[in-house]
Amino acid sequence: MSVAGTITTEAEQSSETLARWTWCGVIFSFLGLQILLSSVAIFLSTSDPSNVIVEGYYEQALSWDQQRQTQAQSDALGWNSVVTLENSTELLSKPKLELSLLNQAGLPIKNSKVEGELFHHARAGDVFKIHFTETRPGHYAALVPIKQQGLWELSIAASGAAGTFQETKQFQFKTSGEFKHLPTKH
């Protein structure tokens, strides 16, 4: 009785071992590349300030009717706001954003608590909370971090004895100091 089998030489065993290692290396290289690309994609998607997740988005969607009613009450007041930007001549100082609140008759609205949120459209994740202080009756001011040119958006909320007012304004800012209001929709 003889044992049937194949006889392999050391060279054949060596090349077979090399082939196994090569194919295993190729497979693990593809898996490693997939993990690397996924990690880069996760890093880019979570670290980019132009990508933003709006806080309380679901709650805002649920209270849509209430928001529309609040906006309608604000519009019914007939108030108007005028925003100006006084660009600073000093390199490290912030520009001053001035806000005038006027009623239907064009008279200033005094003693209101005025707050806002300001952000650049290219960096919607960088939202700046602004607290205005009354500089003279009906005129409010705050220092703002506007240095980058482009499209900016300011949401204003004013509340006082005369009522509650809210408005969103958009403006174009250029490094030359030009400040141009853009029409906005509710």
Q: What is the pLDDT of residues 48-59, one digit of tens each?
A: 767 777 778 889
The alpha carbon of 105 is separated from its chain's Cα centroid by a whole number of angstroms, namely 36
Which residue's structure tokens are 């880019």? 44
Task: Report the half-sphere exposure of 45 (CA within 13 A, side-chain side).
Answer: 7
Q: Where are the beta strands (DSSP E) in the chain?
A: 80-86, 96-102, 113-120, 123-131, 133-136, 139-143, 150-160, 163-173, 179-182
What CATH code is assigned to 64-182? 2.60.40.1220
| Sequence spans of domains, the chain | 9-48, 64-182
pLDDT the model gives residue 114:
93
Ramachandran region, residue 163 (left: φ > 0; alpha: ψ -120 to 50; beta: rest)? left
Q: Helix, strand, coil: what percent of the chain each, to 5? A: 30, 35, 35
Q: What is the pLDDT of residues 8-31, one digit of tens each?
A: 788 888 888 888 999 999 999 999
Amino acid, single-letter form, for residue 54: V
Spell out, as residue ranges, where the chain has pLDDT lower than 70.
1-6, 49, 88-92, 177, 184-186
Yes or no: say if 156 and 169 are a contact pair by the CB < 8 Å rule.
yes
pLDDT the model gives residue 146:
82
pLDDT the model gives residue 177:
66
d(CA 131, CA 118): 11
Yes or no: say if 78 and 104 are a contact pair by the CB < 8 Å rule.
yes
pLDDT the model gives residue 29:
95
pTM of the model: 0.69
The phi, psi pair for 180, rounded to 5°, reads: -125, 125
